[in-house]
Amino acid sequence: MAPFISEKPRGIASPQNEYWIAIALTVLVTVVSWPIEPITGHAAVALFYLLLVVVAGLRLGRGAVLLVAISGGLLWDYLFNPPHFAFFPLTLQDTILLATFLAVGLAMGHLTSQLRLKEIMEGKRERRTAALYELVQQAGLAPDLDSGLSAALRLTETLFGVRAALLLRQPDDGLAEKSFLTSSFSLDAKERRAAQWAFSHCAPAGKFTETLPDGQAIHLPLQAHAEVMGVLSVLPSRDTVLDSAEKELLEAFAVLIGNILQKEQLLQSIKQAEMCVAAERVQLQRALLQSVSHELKTPLSAVQAGLEALRREIGGSQRSQAAVFESQQALRRLRRVINNLLDMTRIESGVVHANLDWCDVGELIQAATDLAADGIGENRIVIELDNNLPLVRVDQALLEQCICNLLLNASAHSTVGGKIEIRAQVTGQQLFLSVLDEGRGISEADLPRIFAAFQRGATATPGGTGLGLAIVEGFAQAHGGSVSAANRPSGGAEFTIKIPVETLRAEVLERLA
Partner 1 sequence: MNEKATALVIDDEPQIRRLLRILLEQEQYRTLESDNGRQGLSEIALRRPDVVLLDLGLPDMDGMSVLERLRQWSRVPVLVLSVRDGAGDKVVALDTGADDFVTKPFESAELLARLRAIQRRSQAGAEEAVFAAGHLVIDFNSHTVNVKGSEIKLTATEYALLKILALHAGKVVTHKQLLREVWGPNAEEQSQYLRVYMMHLRKKIEISEGPDRLLRTESGIGYRLVIPPHKAPD
Distance CA 153, CA 156 (A): 5
- In angstroms, give the least distance from the CB of 474 to partner 1: 15
Quick one: 401 or 414, whose CB is closer to partner 1?
401
Give residues with Cβ within 8 angstroms of 117, minimum separation 6.
Answer: none
432 φ, ψ (degrees, to nearest 5): -115, 125
Distance CA 472, CA 474 (A): 5
Please compute, for residue 154, the number of CA atoms within 13 A of its CA located in the half-sphere on the CB side.
11
Distance CA 420, CA 407 (A): 8
DSSP 28-82: HHHHHHHHHHHHH-HHHHHHHHHHHHHHHHHHS-HHHHHHHHHHHHHHIIIIISS
Quick one: 33 or 369, whose CB is closer to partner 1?
369
- 479: burial class by Cβ within 10 Å (0-12, 13-18, 19+)? buried
- In angstroms, give the least distance from the CB of 477 to partner 1: 19
- In angstroms, give the least distance from the CB of 258 to partner 1: 44
- In angstroms, give the least distance from the CB of 263 to partner 1: 40
Quick one: 114 or 298, whose CB is closer to partner 1?
298
- In angstroms, give the least distance from the CB of 504 to partner 1: 6
Do 199 and 166 form a contact (C-beta atoms < 8 A)? no
Quick one: 294 or 449, whose CB is closer to partner 1?
294
- In angstroms, give the least distance from the CB of 427 to partner 1: 20
Quick one: 227 or 360, whose CB is closer to partner 1?
360
- In angstroms, give the least distance from the CB of 451 to partner 1: 22
Q: In the chain, how many H helices and how many E strands? A: 12, 12
Kindly report the number of other CB atoms within 10 A of residue 14's CB atom. 9
- In angstroms, give the least distance from the CB of 396 to partner 1: 4
Quick one: 193 or 297, whose CB is closer to partner 1?
297
The site for partner 1 (CB under 8 A) is made up of: 290, 293-294, 297-306, 308-309, 312-313, 335, 339, 342, 355, 357-360, 362-364, 366-367, 370, 373, 383, 391, 395-397, 400, 504, 506, 509-510, 513
Quick one: 10 or 312, whose CB is closer to partner 1?
312
The H or E element that residue 232 is part of is: strand 227-236
- In angstroms, give the least distance from the CB of 399 to partner 1: 9
Give residues with Cβ within 8 angstroms of 111, minimum separation 6.
Answer: 57
Distance CA 304, CA 283 (A): 31
Quick one: 131 or 359, whose CB is closer to partner 1?
359
One-letter amino acid of 100: T
Do 198 and 205 form a contact (C-beta atoms < 8 A)? yes
Quick one: 106 or 307, whose CB is closer to partner 1?
307
One-letter amino acid of 379: N
- What is each CA distance from 92 to 45, 70, 75, 104, in whole angstroms? 18, 19, 18, 18
Quick one: 335 or 440, whose CB is closer to partner 1?
335
- In angstroms, give the least distance from the CB of 412 to partner 1: 21
